Amino acid sequence: MHRNFKNALAFSALLLASTALYAQIEDKRGIVAKDAELVKVQDGFTFTEGPAVNRMGDIFFTDQPNDKIYKWSAGSNKVTLFREGAGRSNGLYFQLDGTLIAAADLNNELWAIDQNTGKETVIVPSFKGKKLNGPNDVWVRPKGGLYFTDPLYARPYWEGIRTPERQQDGEHVYFLSADRSEFFRVTEDLTKPNGIVGTPDGKNLYVADIGAKKTWKYDIQDDGYLTNKTLFCEMGSDGMTLDERGNVYLTGDGVTVFDKNGEKIAHIPVPAKWTANVVFGALDRKTLFITAMDAVYTLKMKTRGVW
């Protein structure tokens, strides 16, 4: 078969697949860009997680089983290795000063990583003298301080380091103050908290209890404590993000979107068994970046992400 004909057939197949995928997108409020296609940026990973966006719109994400952090450059659409030996980092989030906060699962710690040098500092080694279960996802609030979830997912690489049993008396959410002088629990009644994200005004926090298949909304107090726990939706999530309209994006089976009132308004299918996390990237924050098993994807959106 002639090479050009082969290429034409391949292109036609790709176009049909993209068209079919777009036709499957459920979008009641017009949040996805017209004729947008889900683009596979790169595959060959083992399990991608923790996407975090910096000021330039570049996204850092993890390949946790391979102990690496990668960087997706928004301008070039290229993926490069940022750091090898990343403490088996899972969730990531940038502080306003450019410091990358990482849920380092190897020794159940929270790290602060210099974005320029890659050097890490352990900022949370334990809680009340005991190791954490396994810090998972992180959100940094605008006025400083951060929240992270601490579920238990026993890891094969813990062998020889620690026992796979739960270290704390439950699976909770924690708050660390901006000056790192205060560190305390803010929830103690969840089954397995995982995804976490807050509103850009710093007033509300969403926590996905993946074990109970629910997502909760809280009011954030100035001192970091949470009040007014309210059921947001009957769905848990691995990771999550928000857009400028207040829509909440949950993961697992593709990406499912709920409006600020908890009504399902969209579903974006992803060709993977599991979608772990999601964030908005690029300078205009209109590129949805999705981590899904062995690959990462992008999708052009009408809505803009918040950061």
Q: Which residue has the tokens 């009011």?
A: 219
**Cα–Cα dist 203/187, whole Å:** 17
pLDDT bin (cut points 50, 70, 90) of residue 24 is: confident
In this predicted structure, the answer to whether residue 22 has a pLDDT above a threshold of 70 is: no
The pLDDT value recorded for residue 4 is 45
* Residue predicted with more confidence, 146 or 22: 146
Letter for the amino acid at 154?
Answer: A
Judged on CB neighbours under 10 Å (0-12, 13-18, 19+), 54 is middle
What is each CA distance from 195 to 3, 43, 203, in whole angstroms?
47, 23, 17
Question: At a CB cut-off of 8 Å and minimum separation 6, what does 272 contact?
Answer: 292, 293, 294, 295
Q: Report residue 11's pLDDT band, with 50, 70 and 90 as the boundaries.
A: very low
**Average pLDDT of the residues in 196-216:** 98
What are the extents of the domains in the chain? 3-300
Band (pLDDT 50/70/90 cuts) for residue 89 is very high
**Confidence bin at 159 (pLDDT 50/70/90):** confident
Topology adopted by domain 3-300:
Neuraminidase (2.120.10)
Report whether pLDDT(121) > 60. Answer: yes
pLDDT at residue 86 greater than cutoff 50: yes
Edge-to-edge strand list for the sheet holding 89-94: 89-94, 100-104, 109-113, 120-124
Distance CA 14, CA 57 (A): 28
What pLDDT does 18 receive? 45
- pLDDT reading at 21 higher than 60: no
pLDDT of residue 155: 84
Asked if pLDDT for residue 264 goes beyond 50, the answer is: yes
Q: How confident is the model at residue 167 (pLDDT cuts 50, 70, 90)?
A: confident
What is the pLDDT at residue 158?
A: 79
Which positions ≥6 away from 13 have C-beta within 8 Å? none
Higher pLDDT, 265 or 2: 265
pLDDT score, position 16: 39
Residue 12 has pLDDT above 90, yes or no: no
- Parallel, antiparallel or unpaired: strands 240-242 and 226-233: unpaired
Residue 250: pLDDT over 70 = yes
| Tens digits of residue pLDDT in 124-134 | 999 999 999 99
What mean pLDDT is predicted for residues 199-203?
A: 96
166 compared with 262, residue with greater pLDDT? 262
The confidence score (pLDDT) of residue 257 equals 98
Q: What is the mean pLDDT of the chain?
A: 91
Phi, psi of 257 (to 5 degrees): -115, 135
Task: State the Cα–Cα distance between residues 142 and 134, nearest whole angstrom.
Answer: 24
